[in-house]
Amino acid sequence: MTFTIDMLPANEGDALWIEYGSDPVRRILIDCGRKTAYRAVADRLDRTDDARFELFVLSHVDADHIAGAVPLLQDARFGPDKVGDIWFNGWRHLNGQHKDAEEGEVRILGARQGEFFAAVLRDREYPWNEAFDGHPVILNDTGDLPSFTMEGGMVLTLLGPTKDKLDDMRDRWRDDLEGMDDDEEFDPGDWEAALRLLEDDRAHAADIPVLGGAPKGQLSVDEVFDLAEEPFDPDHSEPNGSSISFLAEFGGKSVLFAADAHSPQLARSIRRLMEQRGQGGKLKIDAFKMSHHGSARNNSHELLKMFDCRRFLVSTNGSRHHHPDPAAIARVVTLNSEPVELHFNYRSDESALWDDNALKDAHGFETFYPTGVNGLRVQI
Ligand SMILES: [Zn+2]
């Protein structure tokens, strides 16, 4: 049974090309990073016969997930006939009360790209949240977690976002759009205005990764223990909190795709899932796509302790935010008594820190890095 995940080169973001089954091979795409990731996906489309996706999940509107998705939707090699459904929570899926933005809040303008994405979805008539009858991709506060069986037998069980996380995102979305220059301003949900702007928007397609500094030197075995004990400081970013996260199960194997979700919300959903399935102990999974590119603020001790898992996937080149955080990886390698595998889709200063035999021997883990330029394939 094929079940592979290609973490394509997406700079500091995600672009996950998943294949499962055989004859035909089925595919799921999660996010499309920045422009480099779009090129990697487009290149892969070129090299794949009859490339079709059962599902494209655009987890949330941060640039490192959506910037490459906007050109992808407009690419002639992609199209509505190439994808069974697209899961994406756009403006029309957000509900809640408007609150004033916090003073001095940094605008990420992901909402603008969210509007562009939605505009192209409408313009090219892509399928959109069809599994949810066009409604938001969202968890109810009570009852069973929604589960979907894809063509070919892959089962996806939704773990996020919850309604309160989408409510928080609504305010952020409006504020982001209001922060634009006058000639670029438009109302949330005005997809025709968004489309007009997108047609002239060349700057938006630019991809200039800003490479940052790396952790200096090496870590000692004891420093890893110290890092692992650093207290958890949770992420409060609304876009990250609005991430679509899910458990993907196929052929007796399972992978948890966390996008950039908040740890406490994910942990609650996992508890619900275990309860719903009448399971005790830990959630057995074959791989965990670490939340938020291995940020220490999105991979709590509480969350990591819930898994019986040997494989941890980190998608980022370390630019901008220097992910993965040493503390997050330190938690992974110290909280597991069995040896674990760390899979990185870039050899960056941040990921190469763990390619250290003394640390591997002492803490019991292995590392995997790409050998070429096409990211890393993980066989589940
Ligand atoms: Zn991200």
197-247 pLDDT tens trace: 887 665 443 222 222 233 446 888 888 998 999 899 999 999 999 999 999
Q: Which of 20-34, 149-163, 196-210, 275-289 has the lowest mean pLDDT?
A: 196-210
Q: Which of 219-233, 288-302, 329-343 has the lowest mean pLDDT?
A: 219-233
Encoded tokens for 3: 């079940």
Contact of 234 with 165, CB cutoff 8 Å: no
| Three-state secondary structure call for residue 380 | coil
CA of 64 to the centre of ligand 1 (A): 5
What angle do the packed helices 110-123 and 163-178 form, to 10 degrees? 100
What angle do the packed helices 191-199 and 110-123 form, to 10 degrees? 100
CA of 261 to the centre of ligand 1 (A): 9
Tell me how far apart the alpha carbons of residues 25 and 34 are, in angstroms, rounded to a whole number: 26
Q: Which residue has the tokens 């090309």?
A: 17
CA of 250 to the centre of ligand 1 (A): 25
Contact of 373 with 9, CB cutoff 8 Å: yes
CA of 65 to the centre of ligand 1 (A): 6
b (16+ CB within 10 A) / e for 2-39: ebebbbbbbbbbbbbbbbbbeeebbbbbbbbbbbbbbb
SS3 content of the chain, % helix, strand, coil (to 5): 35, 20, 45
Residue (of 22, 123, 18, 14) closest to 60 by Cα position: 14
CA of 63 to the centre of ligand 1 (A): 8
CA of 31 to the centre of ligand 1 (A): 9
CA of 293 to the centre of ligand 1 (A): 6
CA of 22 to the centre of ligand 1 (A): 30
The CATH number given to 3-379 is: 3.60.15.10
Predicted local confidence at residue 180, as pLDDT: 76
CA of 227 to the centre of ligand 1 (A): 22
Question: Residue 53 — pLDDT band, cuts 50, 70, 90?
Answer: very high
For residue 370, whether the previous peptide bond is cis, meaning omega lies within 30 degrees of 0, is no
Residue (of 57, 59, 17) closest to 40 by Cα position: 17
CA of 361 to the centre of ligand 1 (A): 31
Q: What is the CA radius of gyration of the chain?
A: 20
CA of 291 to the centre of ligand 1 (A): 8
Mean per-residue pLDDT, 88-100: 64
pTM for the model stands at 0.76
pLDDT 10s digits, 127-174:
999 999 999 999 988 999 999 999 999 999 999 999 899 888 988 888
Which residues are placed with Cβ below 5 angstroms of ligand 1, an ion? 64, 260
CA of 358 to the centre of ligand 1 (A): 31
- Kind of pairing between the strands at 365-368 and 340-344: parallel
Sequence-ordered list of residues with C-beta below 8 angstroms from that of 372, at least 6 positions apart, any chain: none
Tell me how far apart the alpha carbons of residues 73 and 80 are, in angstroms, rounded to a whole number: 9
CA of 359 to the centre of ligand 1 (A): 27
Contact of 262 with 232, CB cutoff 8 Å: no
CA of 59 to the centre of ligand 1 (A): 9
CA of 155 to the centre of ligand 1 (A): 24
Which amino acid is it at 193? A
